[in-house]
């Protein structure tokens, strides 16, 4: 156990996020999602960027369980950023061999009790009904649903301008956030910082429709066994613009020789389907009413 960890019911609270720990958290997360609709490459840099507060760099509230073989479970809360009314819960993630012994509930109770903010979960896939039932038993209620889609990279589609040709990226993102996503300037700044701190981010993969001020954020990642282009955000009001940007992303994925294109959206998925993507799953988010 990390010597800086405070032990609570056999679970350690860890601060800060060290590289070796991020590797262990990523490895366990990858084990737990393989074969499900949210299966995707998970890296240490992804874990760090998702758990760290983008604006302040503050680490998460992180609880980790270990045995003699290493990390057997973890659960974290990313501190809320400007414009976020809820802090984001990640996990609990429990090793397959350590399940059905109450570890997930203990991890969840530990971080929910230690985090002073209202909480919302990350996406819980519908093809893991036990996960949804777990949160329901723990007093959480369903808030929202999202759709997961996959597509095949394809050359010969539309091309789009990219952020590496833009002199004032911050101003462009702030305007798009206000116009298409309803976010204030402080939230837009924190969002751009989180994008830039994500190892998957490249300015050349932030696609723009400069005539309307629209954008599509695509995040590319390679691992030893697979690669993907994640369509993480599409900020555009016009269906034709959205479809041009989505098609351009598929062209870019082919040019970069990525294996697949994936999208996770709270929007109506018709624009993604019209561009040849197919729905592979649905997810829900859950909130903890009133906190703990």
Chunked into runs of 10 residues, the chain (292 residues) has average pLDDT values of: 39 78 90 75 81 82 88 92 84 89 92 92 84 91 92 85 91 93 84 82 94 95 83 93 95 94 91 96 86 53
149: alpha, beta or left, given left = phi > 0 and alpha = psi -120 to 50? Answer: beta
CA 75 vs CA 68, 115, 131: distances in Å:
19, 12, 14
pTM: 0.75
- Per DSSP, the chain holds a count of helices (H) and strands (E) of 8, 14
Predicted pLDDT at 83: 72
Predicted pLDDT at 4: 33
Predicted pLDDT at 291: 54
Distance CA 246, CA 239 (A): 10
Predicted pLDDT at 176: 95
Predicted pLDDT at 6: 39
Residue 123, Cβ density class (10 Å: 0-12 exposed, 13-18 middle, ≥19 buried): buried
Q: Find how far residue 102's CA is from the centre of its chain.
A: 26
Q: Do the domains at 6-122 and 149-283 have one common CATH topology?
A: yes
Point out which residues pair with 262 in neighbouring strands: 150, 230
- Residue entry with tokens 């993480």: 232
Predicted pLDDT at 186: 84
Residue-range domain boundaries for the chain: 6-122, 149-283
Distance CA 286, CA 267 (A): 18
- Which residues lie closer than 8 Å to 110 by C-beta, 6 or more apart? 8, 9, 11, 13, 63, 75
Predicted pLDDT at 76: 94
- E strands present in the chain: 6-8, 11-13, 61-67, 70-78, 87-94, 119-121, 124-125, 141-151, 161-162, 206-209, 214-222, 227-235, 260-265, 278-287
Angle at alpha carbon of residue 21, lines to 18 and 27, rounded to 5°: 140
Please report the DSSP string for 122-141 in residue order: --EETT-HHHHHHHHHTT-E
Q: What class has domain 6-122? A: alpha beta
Angle at alpha carbon of residue 126, lines to 133 and 219, rounded to 5°: 125
Q: What class has domain 149-283? A: alpha beta
Predicted pLDDT at 37: 67
Predicted pLDDT at 49: 82
């Amino acid at each position: 156990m990390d010597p800086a960890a405070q032990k609570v019911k056999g679970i350690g609270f860890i601060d800060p996020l060290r590289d070796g720990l991020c590797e262990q958290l990523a490895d366990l997360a990858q084990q737990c999602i393989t074969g499900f609709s949210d299966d995707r490459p998970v890296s240490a840099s992804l874990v760090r960027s998702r758990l760290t507060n983008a604006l302040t760099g503050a680490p998460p509230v992180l609880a980790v369980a270990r045995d003699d073989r290493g990390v057997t479970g973890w659960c974290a809360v990313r501190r809320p950023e400007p414009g976020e009314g809820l802090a984001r819960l990640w996990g609990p993630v429990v090793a397959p061999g350590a399940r059905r012994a109450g570890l997930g509930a203990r991890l969840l109770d530990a971080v929910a009790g230690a985090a002073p903010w209202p909480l919302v979960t990350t996406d819980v896939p519908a093809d893991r009904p036990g996960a949804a039932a777990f949160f329901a038993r723990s007093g959480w209620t369903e808030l929202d649903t999202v759709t997961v889609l996959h597509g095949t990279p394809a050359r010969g589609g539309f091309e789009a301008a990219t952020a590496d040709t833009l002199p004032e990226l911050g101003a462009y993102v702030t305007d798009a956030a206000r116009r298409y996503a309803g976010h204030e300037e402080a939230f837009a700044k924190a969002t751009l910082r989180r994008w830039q701190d994500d190892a998957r981010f490249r300015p050349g993969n932030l696609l723009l429709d400069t005539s309307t001020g629209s954008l599509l954020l695509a995040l590319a990642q390679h691992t030893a066994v697979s690669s993907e282009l994640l369509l993480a955000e599409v900020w555009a009001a016009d269906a034709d613009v959205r479809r041009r940007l989505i098609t351009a992303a598929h062209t870019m994925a082919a040019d970069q020789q990525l294996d697949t294109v994936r999208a996770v959206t709270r929007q109506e998925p018709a624009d993604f389907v019209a561009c040849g993507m197919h729905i592979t799953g649905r997810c829900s988010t859950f909130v903890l009413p009133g906190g703990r």
